[in-house]
Amino acid sequence: MPSLTGFLAWMETDEVEVKRQLDGEGSRIRVMTVHGAKGLEAEIVILPDTCDRSPQDRDQLYRLPDGPPVWKVAKEESPALIAEERAARAERDPAERLRLLYVAMTRARAWLVAAGAGKTKQADGWHNLIAAGVQAAGATPIQDGIQRHAFGDWPGPVPRAITGETPLILPAWAMQSAPEPLRAPKVLSPSDLGGAKALAREPLYPEAEAKARGTALHLLLERLPALAEADWASLAANLIPDPLHLTDALAEARLVLAHPDLTPLFGPETLAEVAVTAPWGDRTLTGTIDRLVIAPDRILIIDYKSNAAIPDRPEETPEGILRQLGAYAHMLSQIYPDRRVETAVLWTKAPRLMRVDPEIVRQAFLRTTIP
């Protein structure tokens, strides 16, 4: 495990060379700390924050004069030796800050700009020290709060136009707006196309509870058909940790899989949990079909619904379910353009397979309005 001791041992035993690469000046702005600026110069140096500061002593260890390091304690609890060292540090720190200020100010060849936002009440603050020095040197006020001290010959203003030069003619592309960048199509799920997903008489369940029960049932209807019925209970227990969801989902899955009219839907030639995707205008539809039956001349899309309130006729199917089926049919018709695409809802609580006319789901899909 990495540790401070291990790091120190590595640094002592390995041949490590630390170098600071000083790039050429060039026509660029270099941002650095006062410590990092030592040994460098620039035509223009800006000190952006020279206002008052309240330095804090963050060291937790004090090294006493001619003595070992000691742990710093609260000021009011400090013994004499630590109190003396604390006072000595308070005297040394202002001198160190003045040294840093000197280093920062002497980096400029031509312009030194001292600025800041905040209070300037400390007499030994950088801003006030610089202001006092500028005033003593004969500064010229520019506007409120701004002073300038200058000497030597400064270059005059650059003329705006130089005669005798050929005017610059930009190419046509430089005067045109850049084309719109290519953007990836927005992805949309068939279950997010709006519309009610249940009849008005459907009992109200907490959303998280309904989702957990539906997920458990879908998982069993996907996995159980491939196993012998004697193994269903053990597999279900491994797949669904919640005992309540396990009991309800397994009982409902047994009703569906044992129904003689529904047995052909779960044969080995059918597909479960089929991921599909296809373009839809400027969007991409992507979803998962619960059960898919592929025949030479037709495709049957089956969507499981565990609603308690089941419609009597396909036309009474909630709008949201019809739009979802319409989206699946739209995607499958692009994958299998030469086959008839049919849709059906398997109401698992009945259990009952309700075939829905392709035109009904197509019209519902066309009614989708997504911004």
| Residue 159: half-sphere exposure toward Cβ, Cα within 13 Å | 3
Residue 1 scores a pLDDT above 60: no
| Residue 311: half-sphere exposure toward Cβ, Cα within 13 Å | 21
Q: What percent of the chain has pLDDT over 70?
A: 91
Mean of pLDDT values over 240-245 = 88
Angle at 131 between CA 58 and CA 31, to 5 degrees: 55
Reported confidence tier of residue 135, pLDDT bands at 50, 70, 90: confident
pLDDT at 281: 87
Q: Where in the chain is the domain with CATH 3.90.320.10?
A: 186-366
The rounded mean pLDDT for the chain is 86
Residue 319 scores a pLDDT above 90: yes
Residue 30 scores a pLDDT above 80: no
pLDDT at 321: 97
From the list 248, 254, 249, the residue with the least C-alpha distance to 266 is: 254
Mean of pLDDT values over 82-86 = 80
Q: Residue 301, Cβ neighbours under 10 Å: how many?
A: 25
Identify the CATH number of the domain defined by range 186-366: 3.90.320.10
- Amino acid 249 reads A
- Amino acid 370 reads I
Reported confidence tier of residue 155, pLDDT bands at 50, 70, 90: low
276-314 per-position pLDDT tens digit: 999 998 899 999 999 999 999 999 999 999 999 999 999
104-128 per-position pLDDT tens digit: 888 888 888 888 888 888 888 888 8
Q: List, in sequence order, every beta strand (DSSP E) within the chain.
A: 42-47, 61-63, 69-71, 108-114, 140-143, 146-148, 186-188, 271-280, 283-294, 298-305, 340-347, 352-356
Residue 61 scores a pLDDT above 90: no
According to DSSP, the residues that pair with 62 across neighbouring strands are 70
Q: Residues 6 or more apart from 365 whose CB is under 8 A from it?
A: 193, 322, 323, 325, 326, 327, 329, 330
pLDDT at 55: 74
Reported confidence tier of residue 222, pLDDT bands at 50, 70, 90: very high
Which has more pLDDT, 30 or 124? Answer: 124
Which has more pLDDT, 114 or 332? Answer: 332
pLDDT at 368: 92
Tokens 């003595």: give the residue.
67
Residue 24 scores a pLDDT above 60: no
pLDDT at 27: 66
**DSSP 3-state of 95:** helix
pLDDT at 54: 78
pTM above 0.85, yes or no: no
